[in-house]
């Protein structure tokens, strides 16, 4: 197959949802269609049970599953589909944000009864900012839920999307009869069996035909006609270009558990979802069909086996082909590296591959060369833009609890930060280290892993910070900047990249600081150039 055809047949995407909306179930049904797994139950849920947050076994179990489900690839209708796993637990939200730098599109799963939930809002916002094409799947139609129109409204209002339903439910919950597929113009009747094949759908050329009454009964037929009329009147027609530009989001309804509405979703997805897209580097935009290889690290998975300090760096290929045993430039280190056993991922296994194409993910064994955001190329000095760091929500001093193991502790902290587990801030005043995280669970993960993988012990101490703000010296008023640095010294730190950060202890002091030093710009993310 030609290089161009290989690119054109790839679909790399992520499924995002609030926990429990049905992401794992949907993933599993997609894999069943792709023939990648034989039975339900094969995909393990990577969610963390609430009751088990302080159970270290649970953390390890979660890490094990997380590596196994990082990328689930399968072939469907000759398309190579790569599903990238996105943890739903909010303490791992940053992991998900980073994964979103590597997807070309997403499917958003929403629970019909719960509607738009907190985690969905955050994740969709990141996708919206990056104009990632999104398809919405409204799940659990076999249960009583919100009215379809109310729900579509909610999706538009809360998520700021412009939706257009490509399927529409006939009834819901106890009265759920099936789905009218606006995209294909046919009806799929719900039988409650978890097997769905193409023959189950019934083509409906004319919605006014009495056939419809025979199929679903008079009342349902009438209300379906009314609803579809309303859909046509209220929502714009599907526009593929608008979808690809992130300006319109098609909506499907179904029940992942019953494997219902999933085939429609998948068939539409492979038709409309984008193949690997161009990506912006700081230097220029790189097209996927450029011949020279380039890619970037979006995830690092470390030390699954504590005896071998080995890490797996996940690279998304942006352009060209990645080949085994070929030297590539590690741009940040300005040195060439080659890889003898790059891994490719399939639904149930990983294996060594000789060649990978744009859109694919390869896992590279690494002994500490990589950190998240690193770029690999065939020689050109490119730096792909990642997701900036956001202010963490929790801050604690980290102290060494075993003076004999200071080196191990520092190395451990360093590597865990490269992996993106948390953010490190070093205080300007005294060099003390402060760890910032999105969720309290991360502190336990760090403590546990420092001990088990690096042989180091740590304790934490509270450090009340309201927000971390990245400081920009505008150069407008050098005297004012010097004074700001002197007066606020106690609250200044450096992040891991050496950028100056102001750790405001309250929203009041943040406000006062901004008023007092107007020429010093405070930013809530690390990227502001
Ligand atoms: P995740 O946290 O988003 O990965 O959600 P899961 O896929 O683990 O699903 C959460 C729960 O909802 C599980 O108990 C599923 O069996 C259930 N579930 C998923 N899809 C459906 C559906 O279509 N109908 C019903 N009734 N339950 C579902």
Query: At residue 204, does pLDDT exceed 80?
Result: no
pLDDT of amino acid 199? 52
261 dihedral zone (left: phi>0; alpha: psi -120 to 50; beta): left
The gap from C-alpha 370 to its chain's centroid, in whole angstroms, comes to 20
Percent of the chain with pLDDT over 70: 89
Check if the beta carbon of residue 83 is closer than 8 Å to that of residue 73: yes
Nearest CA, atom 17, ligand 1:
22
pLDDT of amino acid 32? 87
Query: At residue 188, does pLDDT exceed 90?
Result: no
Q: Which atom of ligand 1 is nearest to the CA of 256?
A: 23
**Domain 280-377 belongs to what topology?**
Rossmann fold (3.40.50)
pLDDT of amino acid 53? 44
Q: What is the pLDDT of residues 496-526, one digit of tens each?
A: 889 999 999 999 999 999 999 999 999 988 8
Domain boundaries, the chain: 3-277, 280-377, 394-523
If one compares 174 and 166, the residue with the highest pLDDT of the two is: 166
**pTM, to two decimals:** 0.87
> pLDDT band at residue 306, thresholds of 50, 70 and 90?
low
- The helix (H) or strand (E) run that includes residue 350 is strand 350-352
Dig out the tokens for 333 from the structure. 């280190």
Other C-beta atoms closer than 10 Å to the C-beta of 87 total 20
* Domain 3-277, CATH: 3.40.50.300
Beta bridge partners, 79, equal 76
Q: What is the pLDDT of residues 352-369, one digit of tens each?
A: 999 999 999 999 988 888
Average confidence (pLDDT) over 175-195: 80
CA 140 / ligand 1 centre spacing (Å): 8
> pLDDT band at residue 52, thresholds of 50, 70 and 90?
very low
* Domain 394-523, CATH: 3.30.70.3280
H-type alpha helices, 90-167: 93-99, 118-129, 148-159
Query: At residue 479, does pLDDT exceed 90?
Result: yes
Q: What is the pLDDT of residues 277-293, one digit of tens each?
A: 999 999 999 999 999 99
Ligand 1 binding pocket (C-beta < 6 A) is 17, 19-25, 45, 47, 88, 139-140, 142-143, 255-258
> pLDDT band at residue 146, thresholds of 50, 70 and 90?
very high
Nearest CA, atom 25, ligand 1:
140
* Cα atoms in the Cβ-side hemisphere of radius 13 Å centred on 426: 12
Q: How far apart are CA 446 and CA 441, in angstroms?
A: 9
Q: Are 3-277 and 280-377 equal in CATH topology?
A: yes
pLDDT of amino acid 182? 87
> pLDDT band at residue 301, thresholds of 50, 70 and 90?
confident
Interface ipTM: 0.99
């Amino acid at each position: 197959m030609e290089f161009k055809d290989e690119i054109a047949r790839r679909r790399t995407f992520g499924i995002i949802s609030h926990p429990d909306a049905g992401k794992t179930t949907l993933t599993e049904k997609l894999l069943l269609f792709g023939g990648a797994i034989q039975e339900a139950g094969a995909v393990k849920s990577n969610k963390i049970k609430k009751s088990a947050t302080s159970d270290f076994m649970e953390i390890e179990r979660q890490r094990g599953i997380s590596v196994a489900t990082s990328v689930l690839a399968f072939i469907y209708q000759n398309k190579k589909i790569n599903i990238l796993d996105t943890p739903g637990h909010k303490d791992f939200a940053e992991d998900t944000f980073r994964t979103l730098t590597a997807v070309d599109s997403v499917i958003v799963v929403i629970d019909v009864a719960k509607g738009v939930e907190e985690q969905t809002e955050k994740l969709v916002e990141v996708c919206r900012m990056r104009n990632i094409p999104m398809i919405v799947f409204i799940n659990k139609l076999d249960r009583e839920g919100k009215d379809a129109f109310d729900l579509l409204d909610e999706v538009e209002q809360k998520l700021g999307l412009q939706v257009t339903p490509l399927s529409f439910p006939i009834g819901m919950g106890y009265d759920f009869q099936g789905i009218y597929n606006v995209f294909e113009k046919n009806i799929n009747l719900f039988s409650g069996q978890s097997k769905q094949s193409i023959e189950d759908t019934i083509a409906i050329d004319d919605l006014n035909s009495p056939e419809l009454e025979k199929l679903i009964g008079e009342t349902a037929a009438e209300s379906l006609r009314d609803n579809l009329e309303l859909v046509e009147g209220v929502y714009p027609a599907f526009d593929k270009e608008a979808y690809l530009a992130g300006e319109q989001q098609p909506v499907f309804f179904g029940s992942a558990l019953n494997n219902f509405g999933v085939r429609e979703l998948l068939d539409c997805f492979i038709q409309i979802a984008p193949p690997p897209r161009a990506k912006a580097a700081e230097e220029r935009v790189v097209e996927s069909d450029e011949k020279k290889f380039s890619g970037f690290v979006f995830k690092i998975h470390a030390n699954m086996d504590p005896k071998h300090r080995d890490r797996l760096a996940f690279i998304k290929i942006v352009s060209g082909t990645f080949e085994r045993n070929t030297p590539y430039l590690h741009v940040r280190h300005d040195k060439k590296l080659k890889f003898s056993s790059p891994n490719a991922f399939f639904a149930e296994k990983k294996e060594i591959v000789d060649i990978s194409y744009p859109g694919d993910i390869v896992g590279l064994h690494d002994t500490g060369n990589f950190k998240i955001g690193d770029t690999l190329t065939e020689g050109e000095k490119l730096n792909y833009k990642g997701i900036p760091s956001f202010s963490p929500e929790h801050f604690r001093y980290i102290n060494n609890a075993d003076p004999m193991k200071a080196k191990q502790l520092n190395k451990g902290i360093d590597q865990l930060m490269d992996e993106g587990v948390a953010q490190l801030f070093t205080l300007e005043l005294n060099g003390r280290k402060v760890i910032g995280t999105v969720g309290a669970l991360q502190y336990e993960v760090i403590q546990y892993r420092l001990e088990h993988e690096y042989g180091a012990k740590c304790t934490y101490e509270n450090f009340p910070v309201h927000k971390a703000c990245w400081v920009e010296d505008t150069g407008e008023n050098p005297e004012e900047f010097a004074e700001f640095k002197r007066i606020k010294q106690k609250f200044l730190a450096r992040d891991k990249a050496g950028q100056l950060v102001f750790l405001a202890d309250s929203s009041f002091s943040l406000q006062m600081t901004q008023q007092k030093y107007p020429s010093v710009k405070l930013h809530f993310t690390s990227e502001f150039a």
